[in-house]
């Protein structure tokens, strides 16, 4: 029992350290500052920020626009998270025998990254950047498998139109 508690405590410390590192990577001094920023972003009306890159922008303006665009994307994503659905999806991915990844275009790069990371932790992952090959995945899937669709916009015709094939 004491070994289990020690293991659990060590795991909690690791999780806290990972959260702090993530917060700092986003440019905050720590998790508390990130939480405050996220809380304020949920209350504040959406600020109109000019992200259009102009040929006359200097390097400081370009860097600022890129930084703001990335921060804005993270905040918008956070605001869309349904923690119950996220928890359910994570449980399904953990329990899956095989995880099939779907993503094309710019999302293909993200899918390849996810494939590599899941493979490194011992998950069986199937991915091919070709849309037509992805369409054949549904023929191989069974109830013990999971499908993960990756789309930046959520409107890409390919992956969005064939989500029904895996349901």
Q: Could you tell me the CA-to-CA distances from 89 to 67, 86, 95 in Å, in that order?
A: 29, 5, 10
Q: What is the mean pLDDT of residues 55-76?
A: 90
Q: Could you tell me the CA-to-CA distances from 21 to 26, 37, 150, 167 in Å, in that order?
A: 9, 16, 25, 37
- Do residues 20 and 30 make contact, with C-beta atoms less than 8 angstroms apart? yes
Exposure on the CB side of residue 70, measured as CA atoms within 13 A: 8
pLDDT tens-digit map of 102-115: 988 889 999 999 99
Helix (H/G/I), strand (E/B), else coil: 137: helix
Q: What is the mean pLDDT of residues 43-64?
A: 75
* pLDDT surpasses 60 at 157: yes
């Amino acid at each position: 029992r004491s070994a289990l508690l020690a293991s659990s405590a060590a795991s909690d410390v690791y999780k806290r350290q990972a959260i702090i590192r993530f917060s700092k990577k986003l440019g905050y001094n720590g998790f508390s500052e990130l939480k405050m920023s996220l809380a304020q972003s949920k209350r504040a009306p959406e600020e109109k920020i000019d992200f259009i890159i102009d040929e006359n922008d200097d390097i400081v303006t370009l860097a600022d626009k890129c930084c703001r665009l990335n921060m804005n994307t993270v905040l918008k994503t956070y605001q869309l998270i349904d923690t119950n659905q996220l928890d359910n999806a994570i449980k399904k991915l953990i329990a899956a025998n095989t995880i099939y990844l779907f993503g094309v275009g710019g999302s293909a790069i993200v899918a390849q990254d996810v494939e590599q990371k899941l493979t490194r932790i011992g998950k069986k992952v199937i991915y091919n950047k070709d849309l037509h090959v992805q369409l054949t995945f549904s023929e191989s899937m069974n109830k013990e498998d999971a499908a993960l669709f990756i789309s930046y916009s959520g409107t890409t015709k390919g992956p969005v139109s064939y989500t029904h094939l895996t349901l």
